[in-house]
């Protein structure tokens, strides 16, 4: 399945690149980089390199030359995938939203869904502070919506996560952090996704965390930014997000369907390209014969996966996620 999933993801990337042809070149960049912080991480890189060899993915073990690709003394080794392409999530999202709005889609922000029920006519009624919305088909992509499919068990746990973006960097600062502009993350996903987004800004974060979502949390992230990248000490964090994310035991998304209601969760940070593919998959299945389905979509395979289930009690799911993140962090130090 892994080889087929990789092939389908590459097909999704080509489709996305074709759809955004003519947009700024900064939407896509070249190079993927997995970084090792410890000797244990280096053994992880060994396993990763072997998996990439089996999948016939070009790779290069960096050793001490890792600092040619990421300017930080914390990382002792790296695994470079020079042909890997990655998409800028902010730019892709804005471009797709622009096209969707031009096609007639309406976006309602700051309008939380507070309730869901069936009408006597069989429609779904979604309650919001701005009034009810009626629809024949509903897709819920907020992870806890999976609770609707099972009262007692759910295939995900909850973890705290964060993501920040710096103020615009000077060209010298940007080059000092990621000279080759590769998309880099550490082997344990503790401080993953170091890459420039929206021009010269650096997107830093995304790792599982139980950090506070207040001023002290931001102070810690500012300190962490300077610790990982000394060239950015004193650089301000202009944008930040803290929140809950749901993660499945397989680290792959979970899909459910019942009575014209589609549920999705456990996305586990599968990336921008796969998020685009997941949207295509959802539209195809919601519209039935209106949109042709394709076996080349990664989610035709992912939707068949079986997932370990956890008690559907919010505090238990949060505790399990927090303990898992803490143990992973302690193991890798």
pTM (predicted TM-score): 0.78
Residue 272 pLDDT level (bands cut at 50, 70, 90):
confident
Evaluate whether 299 touches 278 at the Cβ level (below 8 Å).
Answer: yes
Tell me the percentage of the chain whose pLDDT exceeds 70. 76
CA gap 141, 146 in Å, rounded = 9
pLDDT recorded at residue 149:
57
24 burial via Cβ count (<10 Å: 0-12, 13-18, 19+): exposed
pLDDT recorded at residue 97:
92
pLDDT recorded at residue 221:
77
Average pLDDT, the chain: 78
Structure tokens at 239: 């944008």
Which of 47-56, 155-164, 237-246, 288-297 has the weakest average pLDDT? 288-297
pLDDT recorded at residue 150:
59
Tell me the percentage of the chain whose pLDDT exceeds 90. 13
pLDDT recorded at residue 162:
75
pLDDT recorded at residue 151:
60
Evaluate whether 302 touches 289 at the Cβ level (below 8 Å).
Answer: no
* 166 or 322: which leads in pLDDT: 166
Q: Does residue 140 carry a pLDDT above 60?
A: yes
Nearest-5° Cα angle at 31, 29 to 35: 130
Q: Does residue 157 carry a pLDDT above 90?
A: no
Mean pLDDT of 146-156: 64
pLDDT, tens only, 90-100: 889 889 999 99
Q: Where are the alpha helices (DSSP H) in the chain?
A: 2-19, 39-54, 89-102, 171-177, 215-228, 272-287, 298-302, 314-332
* 45 or 325: which leads in pLDDT: 45
Q: Residue 236: helix, strand or coil by DSSP?
A: coil
pLDDT, tens only, 292-320: 555 566 666 666 777 677 666 555 555 55
């Amino acid at each position: 399945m892994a080889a087929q999933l990789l092939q389908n993801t590459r097909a999704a990337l080509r489709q996305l690149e074709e759809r955004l042809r003519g947009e700024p070149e900064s939407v896509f960049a070249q190079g993927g980089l997995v970084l090792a912080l410890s000797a244990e991480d280096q053994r992880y890189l060994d396993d990763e390199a072997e998996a990439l060899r089996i999948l016939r993915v070009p790779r290069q073990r960096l050793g001490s030359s890792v600092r040619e690709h990421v300017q930080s003394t914390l990382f002792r080794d790296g695994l470079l995938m020079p042909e890997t392409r990655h998409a800028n999530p902010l730019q892709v999202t804005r471009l797709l939203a622009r096209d969707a709005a031009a096609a007639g889609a309406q976006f309602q922000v700051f309008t939380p869904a507070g309730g869901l029920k069936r009408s006597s006519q069989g429609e779904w009624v979604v309650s919001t502070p701005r009034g009810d919305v009626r629809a024949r088909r509903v897709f819920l992509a907020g992870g806890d919506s999976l609770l609707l499919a099972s009262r007692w068990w759910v295939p995900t746990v909850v973890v705290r996560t964060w993501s920040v973006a710096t103020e615009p960097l000077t060209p010298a600062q940007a080059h000092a952090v990621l000279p080759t502009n590769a998309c880099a993350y550490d082997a344990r996903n503790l401080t993953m996704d170091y890459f420039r987004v929206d021009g010269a800004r650096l997107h830093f974060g995304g790792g599982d965390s139980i950090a506070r979502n207040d001023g002290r949390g931001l102070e810690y992230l500012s300190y962490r930014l300077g610790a990982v990248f000394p060239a950015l000490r004193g650089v301000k964090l202009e944008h930040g997000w803290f929140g809950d994310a749901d993660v499945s035991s397989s680290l792959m998304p979970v899909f459910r369907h019942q009575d014209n209601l589609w549920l999705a969760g456990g996305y586990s940070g599968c990336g921008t390209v796969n998020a685009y593919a997941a949207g295509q998959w959802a539209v195809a299945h919601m519209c039935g014969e209106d949109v042709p389905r394709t076996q080349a979509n990664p989610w035709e395979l992912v939707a068949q996966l079986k997932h370990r289930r956890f008690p559907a009690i919010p505090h238990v799911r949060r505790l399990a996620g927090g303990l898992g993140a803490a143990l992973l962090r302690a193991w890798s130090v």
